[in-house]
Amino acid sequence: MESDKFADREKLQKAVKFFEVAPVVKRFGAWVVTTYGIECLETYYPIEISRVHELDWVSHMREKNWVKIQDFGAALEYARDLLTQSKTVAINGRPPRLFLCHGSEDKPTIRELRHQLLAIGTKPWLDEEELFPGQDWKLEITRAIQKSDLVLVCLSSNTVSKSGVVQREIKEALAAASKRPGGEMFIIPARLDDCILPESLEHLQSVDLFRENGFERLVQSLKRFSAEKLASSKKTS
């Protein structure tokens, strides 16, 4: 069984590379929802996320005998849901800026999380994507935290008890949070496994991303944050 999973993963990786498919968010048979939109792993057929509501895609694809319509329909429904979510998490029409605080040990998980966050219309800040050779990484991280709308502190058993970059970034985030209006959401502790939160974050409700509905719970928080920012802007206008 494990060898079948490995072979399937290897097949997926080859297809993604061959068709230059964008980072995969979720797979439905030969169809995948990516940070670009909907793409096929068996032939070149990309549909940009902004076009998923343009026409009756299911009826259109029924005419193609190579398409497994059930898989395509599921991918289409998922992509449409992502597009809807991108509108509900937007802050006054722009993508929310999220800083991804994490340990290097959890980098593979964080990359997948970044893809999911991109797909729902956020702008996640990840060091390996945003830092360039020659930059002062400590200074750039501090700036990124201060400019972020929210800081997602991703913790696991690998990192929670270790001193280093994660603990320093948590201190930076707490310092930035102290300058925000009282009660405004800024730091979201996100558990990647069943780890214990640092004492400095115990007062904040966490989200368990390792659980089945974890990411959906995170999206709900993003929607709530967006709604609160919209209400606040209307009061001051």
* pLDDT block averages, 10 residues each, the chain of length 237: 56 70 91 95 92 91 94 96 92 94 94 94 95 95 96 93 85 94 92 94 96 94 92 74
Which strands sit side by side in the sheet containing 187-191, from one edge to the other?
A: 123-125, 97-101, 150-155, 187-191, 207-208
Count: domains in the chain: 2
Domain match, 102 and 198 both: yes
Domain of 171 in residue numbering reads as 97-236
Structure tokens at 69: 């319509």
CATH of the domain at 189: 3.40.50.10140
Q: What's the distance, CA 131 to chain centroid?
A: 19
| pLDDT of 5 | 52
Q: Is there a single domain that holds both residue 188 and residue 117?
A: yes
How far is the C-alpha of 237 from the C-alpha of 214, rounded, in Å? 35
> Looking at the structure, do residues 185 and 110 belong to the same domain, yes or no?
yes
At residue 202's C-alpha, the angle toward residues 200 and 208, to 5°, is: 120
209 lies in the same domain as 178: yes
213 and 160, same structural domain? yes
Q: Are 23 and 137 within one domain?
A: no
Are 101 and 145 in a shared domain? Answer: yes
Supply the pLDDT for residue 4: 53
pLDDT at 125: 97
